[in-house]
Amino acid sequence: MPLIDKPIISADSHITEPPSLYQNRVPKKFATIAPKLHRTENGGDVVLIDGMADPFPITLASGAGLRGQALADRANAKLEECFAGGWDPRQRLKDQDDDGIYGEVIYPSLGMFLCNHPDTEYKTVMFDAYNDWLAEYCSIAPNRLIGLGQTAMENPGQGIKDLEKIKKMGLKGVMMPGYPQIEDYDSPLYDDFWAAASEMDLPLSFHILTYKDGLGKARGPKVNAFMSIIRGNQDIIGTMIFSGVFERHPSLKVVCAEADAGWVPHYMYRMDHALERNPWTAGKSTLANSPSHYFRENIYLTFQDDLIALQLKDFFNKQRMMWASDFPHLDSTYPDSQKLLAEQTAGLSKQEKTWLLHDNVAGLYGLN
């Protein structure tokens, strides 16, 4: 029996950018410094980026379904050994069918890494090329390939121009860099940008690993860094809520992407507690409503296999929770999404399953 009566949509999946997409679409002066595929001594492929010391392990961005040593071995794979659906939209539709998925909201892979590039002009040029390529990729099946553009947020004015271009291209939302170039997102400087995104009905996404030191410098074993990944998203949400962004822009929609959600009930409680007890506020808040109110209304959450979030569902706004497959990344539920969903949604009502797997993401992005 199908899980729901409507098609299942992943709220967070990815493409695998072939570096040629940048080299073929940027102005001539940038072509020689655009990201380039590099074959390592171990025989695997990485992407070298001018201005960034660390290469991007593009093959690990295509590790769906692999675990243990098989995943480690993927670090030495060639690009052509990765999921071709990462760059071939027709193959991607077959991948969706294989996993029982009708459609996916498409985020970048390499583009996440580029959010941390120090040169704003470089980022703007590369993101423009990416947006152009992604619009073509998604045009094959726009109801199943739901693309999100990128902006480097050079400044609020340029950000608004990027929104306008992204909207005109038919892309459905925008993935934001974790840090803007001027001040931070709590500054009133960004009010015109928030207003423009609201007016254009373009949801803004903050995805893990798109902020400085995305993996951080963890204490202890290197794997401990994995535990800190969600911290950047929490900081962005707190920055926007406490500074009154959603009070001034109540129709602004923000997506917290791939940061899980089981932590959210306590985080909302702690935010409310902070305004009541914190010595910096001493109970004096300029917000008309509690921080948890803005979280419940304005923040959408994507997660793959967060059983804790589903067990705590009654503490959430259940119309803001969205399941994601994360295909083809290494944390993906592919090719076992149906089995996982059957197990983890067993305690949900039919309506709750429908919200989680279709209605919430379809309503957010205005899908047919």
Residue 99 CB-half CA count within 13 A: 29
3-state SS of 278-305 is CCCCCCCCCCCCCHHHHHHHHEEEEECC
pLDDT in tens, the chain (368 residues): 789 999 999 999 999 998 899 988 999 999 999 999 999 998 899 999 999 999 999 888 999 999 989 988 888 899 999 999 999 999 999 999 999 999 999 999 999 999 999 999 999 999 999 999 999 999 999 999 999 999 999 999 999 999 999 999 999 999 999 999 999 999 999 999 999 999 999 999 999 999 876 555 678 998 888 888 999 999 999 999 999 999 999 999 999 999 999 999 999 999 999 888 776 665 556 799 999 999 999 999 999 999 999 999 999 999 999 999 999 999 999 999 999 999 999 999 999 999 999 999 999 999 97
> Whole-angstrom Cα distance, residue 72 to residue 58?
13
> Whole-angstrom Cα distance, residue 179 to residue 123?
13
pLDDT at residue 73, rounded to an integer: 86
Q: Which two tokens stand for residue 114?
A: 């580029």
pLDDT at residue 186, rounded to an integer: 95
pLDDT at residue 283, rounded to an integer: 53
pLDDT at residue 279, rounded to an integer: 64
Q: pLDDT tens across 160-202, in order?
A: 999 999 999 999 999 999 999 999 999 999 999 999 999 999 9
Q: Which two tokens stand for residue 267?
A: 């985080």
pLDDT at residue 285, rounded to an integer: 62
| b (16+ CB within 10 A) / e for 121-151 | ebbbbbbbbbbbbbbebbeeebebbbbbbbb
pLDDT at residue 164, rounded to an integer: 98
Count of positions (residues) in the chain = 368
pLDDT at residue 62, rounded to an integer: 94
pLDDT at residue 72, rounded to an integer: 87
